[in-house]
Amino acid sequence: MIITAVPASPEVHTLGEGPVWDADRRRLLWVDIVAGAVHEGTLDGGTITPARRHDFGSTVGAVAVAAGGDLIVAERHTLTRLAPDGSRAELARVLPEDRRSRLNDGAVDPAGRFLVGSLAQDGREGEEVLARLDGAGVTYLDTDLVLSNGLAWTGGRLYSVDTMPGVVWARDYDAATGGTGPREKAFTIDDGLPDGMCADADGNLWIAIWGRGRVECRTTDGELLAVVETGATHTSCPVFAGPELDTLVITSATQDLAEPGPLDGRLFTAKVGVRGLPTPYWNPSF
């Protein structure tokens, strides 16, 4: 099945990423990593209208929202809490200050813990992390990744993307305790680079394919079920949004394109015939 996404707003992002649906406030959040910005907007049908922007002094890899409306923001090396009144406080340092890496994609687990990965900015390979902020502070699930990216939970397992080798990893994940099983390779993607990811209510994964202008729906064993074409070469991340969680919102980027086309860097929406899982709220008590 091939589905065509439609542009949802005229704004163009250098590295649009990490869309999040805040159901209680009916708002969409996303980031422009290179611009160091967190965006808020509304979703009306297939149209996204930007409403507010929060600027930071460094890259912003990901954002998530708490039930009370506070945001947790992954800056270059640290996690920051942004309150509804605009005040900010550093929560934790994930990467050393002198490390030539930055935080990248992040997401909240079903119990409210925030996970975030990293990527190298100096050509190093195999030293990047997948970290988790919980009651014990920052713990590291992985320390040997090339480019930590999309995260999704379904069927009692955590699925995580390592972009450059094209691997989707899987491990058992007990949300109640935070306990994890051994990491194993779920499947690989050979055509394009897997980027951001989310899960639907049927237990399948929706994975943005950087460099190929599409989102792929795959089973957790890797079987290809559907393709959503965006027309934006660097498609970066999907999320299910809207009151019924039946609209797939997709980000994209102009980064690394010598001559960006008219759709590159835009936000997109698509009706894909399935619903997503509710986005868990970050629990600041962890």
CA angle at residue 80 from 266 to 173, to 5 degrees? 80
Helix/strand/coil for 145? strand
The span from the CA of 244 to the CA of 241, in Å, is 7
Share of the chain above pLDDT 90, in %: 97
Exposure class string for 196-222: b at 16+ Cβ within 10 A, else e: bbbbbeeebbbbbbbebbbbbbbebee
Stated pTM of the model: 0.97
The span from the CA of 111 to the CA of 109, in Å, is 5
The confidence score (pLDDT) of residue 247 equals 98
pLDDT tens-digit series, residues 160-204: 999 999 999 999 999 999 999 999 999 999 999 999 999 999 999
Q: Which two tokens stand for residue 279?
A: 């986005």
